[in-house]
Amino acid sequence: MERTRKKVADSRFTLSALMGPQDANGHGNAHGGVIMRMVDEAGALVAMRHANRPVVTVAIDSMTFEEPILLGMLVMCNAELTYVGRTSMETRVEVVTEHPLHGTSKTTNIAYLVYVALDEDGRPAVVPEIDYFSDEERERAERAKARQEFRKQQRATEKRRHD
């Protein structure tokens, strides 16, 4: 059976929220966990839109907070697919903050997350293939394939260590 094909643009998604007191950590900035939750939700929504199925998070690559996110800032998590395997998908989520009064914005984080689509029985399900149209999409896909290979090597090493 041939898998359907989709474009990266078919599932792009932006999740936005204004950071308020409920999002604060002890330093008066947005709590890292709040940002991580937004990143995971944005990535999952992209994966679900691509797969047309529920998904589960299986990996979050390192997430470095380049700058604090201040309360009162608008946070946008811009997410898109970078890689599609048989049942897994990698998403790239760029966290951008914008000062709503000045209109100035900056990228504070970029994270890569991997999701697996689930069938009705909760088992991995085959997802549509993906077509890359721009040079940027193709370059991101090549880097994503390298990350996926690295993840597989890490899992194999961990498995050997525990056997």
Angle at 79 between CA 7 and CA 100, to 5 degrees: 130
- pLDDT at residue 2 in the model: 72
**What single-letter DSSP state applies at residue 11?**
T
At 40, which amino acid appears?
D
- Helix, strand, coil percentages (3-state) for the chain, rounded to 5, are 35, 35, 30
pLDDT tens digits, 94-107? 999 999 999 999 99
Domain-by-domain residue ranges, the chain? 5-162
Residue 50 and residue 114 in contact, taking contact as beta carbons nearer than 8 Å: no
Q: What Rg do the C-alpha atoms of the chain give, in angstroms?
A: 17
Whole-angstrom Cα distance, residue 23 to residue 46? 24
Token code pair at residue 148: 């996926």
Provide the whole-model pTM.
0.91
Whole-angstrom Cα distance, residue 148 to residue 134? 21
**Residue 79 phi, psi (nearest 5):** -120, 145
- pLDDT at residue 61 in the model: 86
Place of tokens 């090597």: 153
Cα torsion angle, 34, 37, 42, 45, sign: negative
**What single-letter DSSP state applies at residue 21?**
G
Whole-angstrom Cα distance, residue 58 to residue 45? 14
Topology of the domain comprising 5-162: Thiol Ester Dehydrase; Chain A (3.10.129)
The confidence band for 108, taking pLDDT boundaries of 50, 70 and 90, is very high
- Is the pLDDT score of 1 beyond 70? no
pLDDT tens digits, 25-80? 999 899 999 999 999 999 999 999 999 999 999 999 888 899 999 999 999 999 99
Whole-angstrom Cα distance, residue 138 to residue 131? 9
